[in-house]
Amino acid sequence: MINKIEEIDFKEIKRISPSQYYSMKNCAYKSLLAEAFEKKPLLPVSPNAYFGTVLHRMLELITKGSITNEDEFNVEFDRQVKIVEEELQNKGFGFLVPLKMKLKNFGLKKIQLKKHLRSEPEQPVNKINLKFHSEKWFESKDNLIGGKIDLIVENDRNYIEIIDFKTGAVTQDYLDDEGELISDVKAEYKEQLKLYAYLYFENTNKFPTSLSLIDLAKKKISIEFSEEECKTTFDEAKSLLVKTNSCINENTFSANPTETNCRFCLYRPACVFYQKQLDTVPLFNDVSGEIRDVKKFNNGNVSVFLQNGQLNFTIKNLSSEEYDELNNRRSRKISVYNLRKEATDFIYSVADTTMIYE
């Protein structure tokens, strides 16, 4: 099926979430596209992202004490996977089901997750009279920033800890000023927790005592912060939201098309800035060009041949149902996303997640 991007009706973003802030800061245009398309991705979401929601939900239930043994774990895990797989089927992404067969690390992640049952994460405070609040919504007084905090731990001695669960890599390697390789918590996670801290303060008039990340391997990482840092990040997030929305009325759209911002962007088919680069050179297994020929083979497979300036691309293993659509569009430009690159230059084959846009 060949998809088409109609004229984009940009809409103001009403609220920014702490988890959205870092992405918007790096490319606000991506956030505007997401809002324009009502947060419905234009490309299939990675099955890892859907599996991540299962892992995240299980971490929450284990930490709350709703799951206390392996039998309860297995029943709830299967139930959560089924919920996600039904969602994928309903969205037309049935080719990503079953997740167990589509993900190489399915079993490993489940084993890592199960380890959270065996012992509780270390708490730097007396565990007596602890109160746990999970998935609690906080919103700024002007409604411009809002989000759910994974877990808040409180006691009657004014100890307050905000915890955010992460099911992927928490740290990233950086080069310091002297060229030495160091590992540090990803900047986006630090900023996210600082925004949660200030949201908590705005709603309770109390600052958290500590901010922590807990990963799937059960490693707990404390995030250093100050009240001033949290306030600064909070103000910057609001300013970014206002500035991003002003682009709509002023028609001053801009983007930051880099590998980090674009490789996994689910709205790149609608991004004129990305498309301009794609018109010059293939990027991230996406190609663009005019249809020069379409061939159907005896086995039913279809190949399409694209020309982009001096470059010629071959895309193999399309389904026979796509032959007529492609053949009727000879000399018209298409862009094909999420291809699989073959060993020979400029030759690609389709993958489960490949999509075509005109």
In DSSP notation, 74-134 reads HHHHHHHHHHHHHHHHHTT-GGG-SHHHH-TTHHHHHHHHHGGGTSPPP-SS--TT-EEEE
Q: What is the pLDDT of residue 35?
A: 96
Per-residue tokens: 95: 């080719």
Question: How far are the Cα atoms of 88, 97, 198, 248, 358 from residue 272, in angstroms, in the given order?
Answer: 28, 32, 36, 15, 13
Asked if 289 contacts 307 with a C-beta cutoff of 8 angstroms, the reply is yes
Taking only the tens place, the pLDDT of each residue in 271-289 is: 999 999 998 888 889 999 9
* pLDDT confidence band for 149 (50 / 70 / 90): very high
Taking only the tens place, the pLDDT of each residue in 206-231 is: 999 999 999 888 888 999 999 999 99
How far apart are alpha carbons 116 and 192 in whole angstroms? 24
3-class SS of residue 308: strand
* pLDDT confidence band for 332 (50 / 70 / 90): very high
Percent of the chain predicted with pLDDT > 90: 65
- Using a 10 angstrom Cβ sphere, with 0-12 exposed, 13-18 middle and 19 or more buried, the burial of residue 163 is buried
Packed helices 227-250 and 187-204: angle between N→C axes, nearest 10 degrees = 100
Q: What is the rounded (10 degree) CA torsion for 187, 189, 194, 197?
A: -170
How far apart are alpha carbons 180 and 209 in whole angstroms? 32
Percent of the chain predicted with pLDDT > 70: 96
DSSP annotation string for 135-194: EEEEE-TTSSBEEEEEEEEE-TTS-EEEEEEESS--EEEEE-TTS-EEEEE-HHHHHHHH
How far apart are alpha carbons 31 and 10 in whole angstroms? 10
* pLDDT confidence band for 44 (50 / 70 / 90): confident
Per-residue tokens: 269: 């088919």
Residue 247 has pLDDT above 80, yes or no: yes
Residue 315 has pLDDT above 90, yes or no: yes
- Using a 10 angstrom Cβ sphere, with 0-12 exposed, 13-18 middle and 19 or more buried, the burial of residue 90 is exposed
Asked if 311 contacts 266 with a C-beta cutoff of 8 angstroms, the reply is no
Residue the block writes with tokens 């796509």: 322
Residue 126 has pLDDT above 80, yes or no: no
How far apart are alpha carbons 96 and 102 in whole angstroms? 6
Asked if 164 contacts 196 with a C-beta cutoff of 8 angstroms, the reply is yes
Asked if 88 contacts 94 with a C-beta cutoff of 8 angstroms, the reply is yes
> How many CB atoms sit inside 10 A of residue 146's CB?
16
Q: What is the pLDDT of residue 116?
A: 85
Q: What is the pLDDT of residue 8?
A: 94
Q: What is the pLDDT of residue 184?
A: 86
Residue 173 has pLDDT above 80, yes or no: no
Closest C-alpha to 62, from 154, 158, 167: 167
Listed by start position, the domains of the chain span 282-357
How far apart are alpha carbons 163 and 18 in whole angstroms? 13
Fold of 282-357: OB fold (Dihydrolipoamide Acetyltransferase, E2P) (2.40.50)
Asked if 313 contacts 323 with a C-beta cutoff of 8 angstroms, the reply is no
